[in-house]
Amino acid sequence: GNAMRLQAIRDVEAYVPPAVSFTDAETPGQIFGENVFSSVVMQKRLPKLVYKSVMATIEHGAMLDPLVADAVASAMKDWAMEKGASHYAHVFYPLTGLTAEKHDSFLEPVGDGTALAEFAGKTLVQGEPDASSFPNGGLRNTFEARGYTGWDVTSPAYVLENPNGNTLCIPTVFVSMTGEALDHKTPLLRSQQAMGEHAERILRLFGHVKPAKVVSFCGPEQEYFLVDRHFFLARPDLLNSGRTLFGAKPPKGQEFDDHYFGAIPERVLGFMMDTERELFKLGIPAKTRHNEVAPGQFEIAPMFERGNIAADHQQLLMTTFKTIAKKHGMECLFHEKPFQGVNGSGKHVNFSLGNNQLGSLLVPGDNPHDNAQFLVFCAAVIRAVHKYAGLLRVSVASATNDHRLGANEAPPAIISIFLGDQLADVFEQLAKGPATSSKDKGTMVIGVDTLPQLPTDPGDRNRTSPFAFTGNRFEFRAPGSMQTVSGPMVTINTIMAESLDYIATDLEAAVADGTDFDTAVQALLTQIITEHGAIVFNGDGYADSWPVEAEKRGLANLRTTLDALPELITESALELFEKYRVFNHREMHSRYEIGLEQYALTIGVEARLTLEIGSTQILPASLRHQTEVAINVGAVKAAGGDADIAALLEVSTPIARLRTALAALKDALDAETGHSAVANTALAEAEHARDALLPAMTAVRAAADVLEGIVADDLWPLPTYQEMLFIL
């Protein structure tokens, strides 16, 4: 109750954060990657042939030869034990969005009662965790609860330090007995493969005889909040649901704008240095850090890496942040909207494709030929985003991100592309097609004209666009701060595979027909921008006119998760993912089911918490206050004074509203359990969550937030927004 809140405030004031500094032996350059079983380590520790075989496997994404696996496992075990590891863990990424680990000891008992440190190739390559506690959307037969984890050779193993013992961590895929994906990594690897294959076809058309493998790159920008842990622990809603279910807006909010890029508080800086040291050791290239828009909000952006590695690193980053924040007496909040009325948190996914040989294929060249290639890859993005906007939307759909998307701070739920003035102008010229040899008509001629200078890092970037070209990449801004980047990356890779396939097929046919290549490219670009130009929008995504305009253009506005989820099971989506072997129909349906389940689950937890906190903390505190007021009114009256009945009414009215709202919420929660085992139970429960629980919670909160402004401060049980956001 209130005692806890007041104690929290005293504890926060008395708190002394741990000191942090890099010692001389620990300069960032020296510790970078020190806990990673990297290719450099492998080269040192593996026989030459084994090393070569592993590197080839990584390059081609093939299966690891069992003999090679044994040699790698043995070297890996020795290395890890030298680093103090006693256990190893297969790390996987189930569809809860969290990271899961199954730990085993290196020690294996042998016949004579002693134990031997063993780590065989097959233990490295495959594990068998119990899959029954992870969502599977109907993929797992009840009699076969096992799931399989398999080492993703392209993602290096690492040692995770812990005061209670270090662990060798092996990034793995997680599949059912029948090989169907139960995780985020499996489809990421599959989609990566598909995208690369078709990108290489395009490169060959542009004269790259033997292009190196094309991969997708991802640079995730992570926003998060830090709150003092004393406050966090006094907020059961934050603790159990990641967001505050109550809380009046602070009198001083982000309208003051002094936080953004302001000086980082000393305590937070200590936390950042500490996290960076850990990230460096794990080979995670942490780069920029700064305050974000809201008070208590910050951002970290590691350097971009191969999509698959970036995704693993991103998960590891989140776990590391959580752990280190605790060490500094703070809690790190990744929820998309921990505080209502305060800026939310996103995770911008910066996407490009390319390879070491050619760099990013989304960078304009300095001659007409390279420009044509650049424009083709851009056109592929435009076509993909237009054709599959619904899939991009659903890739970021969650109950938690619903609080953020479409609010006036995050990109709208309508998917569109921002190209910037110069590039938009180029495509406008192309739309005028057909090619003429003169620029008089303002038409760009492929193979002849060069591009205007495109700003590489335009300062006036449109922050309201969900999908923006930013000079050498596209930035997808709709993903939520809590999500794994895998979901969006799988979608981007797959829709890009389809677009690149389409373009390659068209151009290959033209070339076979003897059409001049530049002419064919020109015609194709004109066709694509004509058919798909509606997705390009350079205006203000927050403007009221945009949804109206978007509707005219035929762009979907899928406001909430439940509007978006059916996109997963449309004919066109099922066909797309099957064609590029990313998901079969069963896997797609399972993801749809899991999406519904997770949605209902999240809101169900919040609703129960709202009921509990409302009934056991806020109502009692309000009643105490009401009693005090009533006693006061009585006393004043008895003394012959002018009793203020209005003051009593002021508190009694919202109390009555709170009681009514709590009763209604309880009814809605009771109704939830009443479903029979009808066909679409998951859908029914999700709809119930949206239509009954959410509004009932809102009503409870509305009454409670009014009471927060009335009830005596020393009676109020929950740390306030003011306290949580401004005391760090």
User: Which residues are near ligand ADP by CB under 6 A?
Assistant: 217, 219, 221, 288, 301-304, 350-352, 360, 472-473
Closest approach of Mg ion to the CB of residue 453, in Å: 22
User: How many residues of this chain interact with Mg ion, rule: CB under 5 A?
Assistant: 2
Quick one: 190 or 477, whose CB is closer to Mg ion?
Answer: 477
How many other C-beta atoms can be found within 10 angstroms of the C-beta atom of residue 508?
Answer: 15
Q: Which stretch binds Mg ion (CB under 5 A): 291-299, 342-350, 565-573, 626-634?
A: 342-350
- Name which of Mg ion, ligand ADP, none residue 172 binds, using a CB cut-off of 5 to 8 Å depending on partner kind: none
Closest approach of ligand ADP to the CB of residue 304, in Å: 3
Quick one: 37 or 377, whose CB is closer to ligand ADP?
Answer: 377
Quick one: 202 or 300, whose CB is closer to Mg ion?
Answer: 300
Query: Using CB under 5 A, which residues numbered 200 to 239 contact Mg ion?
Result: 221
- Name which of Mg ion, ligand ADP, none residue 494 binds, using a CB cut-off of 5 to 8 Å depending on partner kind: none
- Name which of ligand ADP, Mg ion, none residue 591 binds, using a CB cut-off of 5 to 8 Å depending on partner kind: none
Quick one: 221 or 685, whose CB is closer to Mg ion?
Answer: 221
Q: Which residue is nearest to ligand ADP (CB)?
A: 219
Beta strands in 189-296, from DSSP E residues, in sequence order: 215-228, 286-291
Closest approach of Mg ion to the CB of residue 243, in Å: 23
The distance in angstroms from the start CA to the end CA of the chain is: 22
Closest approach of ligand ADP to the CB of residue 419, in Å: 16
Quick one: 313 or 328, whose CB is closer to ligand ADP?
Answer: 313
- Name which of Mg ion, ligand ADP, none residue 688 binds, using a CB cut-off of 5 to 8 Å depending on partner kind: none
Closest approach of ligand ADP to the CB of residue 171, in Å: 20
Distance, CA of 720 to CA of 710 (rounded, Å): 13
The answer for 420, left when phi > 0, alpha when psi is -120 to 50, beta otherwise, is left
Q: Is 412:466 a contact under the CB 8 Å cutoff?
A: yes
Distance, CA of 217 to CA of 496 (rounded, Å): 13
- Name which of ligand ADP, Mg ion, none residue 472 binds, using a CB cut-off of 5 to 8 Å depending on partner kind: ligand ADP
Quick one: 129 or 220, whose CB is closer to ligand ADP?
Answer: 220
Closest approach of ligand ADP to the CB of residue 308, in Å: 13
Q: Is 244 helix (H, G, I), strand (E, B) or coil?
A: coil
Look up tokens 């409302």; give the residue: 614
| Contact flag: residue 348 with Mg ion (CB under 5 A) | yes
Quick one: 311 or 520, whose CB is closer to ligand ADP?
Answer: 311
- Name which of ligand ADP, Mg ion, none residue 473 binds, using a CB cut-off of 5 to 8 Å depending on partner kind: ligand ADP
What value, to the nearest 5°, has the Cα angle with vertex 615 and ends 611 and 618?
110
Residues 6+ positions from 49 with CB-CB distance below 8 Å: none
Closest approach of Mg ion to the CB of residue 470, in Å: 7
How many other C-beta atoms can be found within 10 angstroms of the C-beta atom of residue 208?
Answer: 14
Q: Is 654 helix (H, G, I), strand (E, B) or coil?
A: helix
DSSP symbols for 401-446: GGGTTTSTTS--SB--EE--HHHHHHHHHHHH-S--S-STTS---T
CA distances from 431 to 48, 424, 519 (A): 55, 10, 14
- Name which of ligand ADP, Mg ion, none residue 217 binds, using a CB cut-off of 5 to 8 Å depending on partner kind: ligand ADP
Quick one: 221 or 606, whose CB is closer to Mg ion?
Answer: 221
Closest approach of ligand ADP to the CB of residue 283, in Å: 15
| Contact flag: residue 688 with Mg ion (CB under 5 A) | no
Closest approach of ligand ADP to the CB of residue 352, in Å: 3
Closest approach of ligand ADP to the CB of residue 37, in Å: 24
- Name which of Mg ion, ligand ADP, none residue 616 binds, using a CB cut-off of 5 to 8 Å depending on partner kind: none
- Name which of ligand ADP, Mg ion, none residue 304 binds, using a CB cut-off of 5 to 8 Å depending on partner kind: ligand ADP
Q: Find the Cα–Cα–Cα–Cα dihedral 303, 304, 310, 316, rounded to 10°.
A: 10
Q: Which residue is nearest to Mg ion (CB)?
A: 348
β partners of residue 331: 227
Q: Which two tokens stand for residue 16?
A: 């002394």
Closest approach of ligand ADP to the CB of residue 298, in Å: 12
Q: Tell me how far the alpha carbon of residue 275 is from its chain's centroid.
A: 19
Q: Is 226:296 a contact under the CB 8 Å cutoff?
A: yes
- Name which of ligand ADP, Mg ion, none residue 412 binds, using a CB cut-off of 5 to 8 Å depending on partner kind: none
Quick one: 473 or 532, whose CB is closer to Mg ion?
Answer: 473
The helix, strand and coil proportions of the chain, stated in percent and rounded to the nearest 5, come to 50, 15, 35
Closest approach of ligand ADP to the CB of residue 219, in Å: 3
Distance, CA of 64 to CA of 56 (rounded, Å): 9
CA distances from 261 to 257, 298, 529 (A): 9, 9, 38
Q: Which two tokens stand for residue 516?
A: 């001049």
Let me know if 350 is exposed, middle or buried by CB neighbors in 10 A (0-12, 13-18, 19+): buried
Quick one: 40 or 303, whose CB is closer to ligand ADP?
Answer: 303
Quick one: 473 or 591, whose CB is closer to ligand ADP?
Answer: 473
- Name which of ligand ADP, Mg ion, none residue 654 binds, using a CB cut-off of 5 to 8 Å depending on partner kind: none
Look up tokens 């910050």; give the residue: 298
DSSP symbols for 517-549: HHHHHHHHHHHHHHHHGGGB--S-TTSTHHHHH
Quick one: 336 or 563, whose CB is closer to ligand ADP?
Answer: 336
Binding site for Mg ion (CB under 5 A): 221, 348
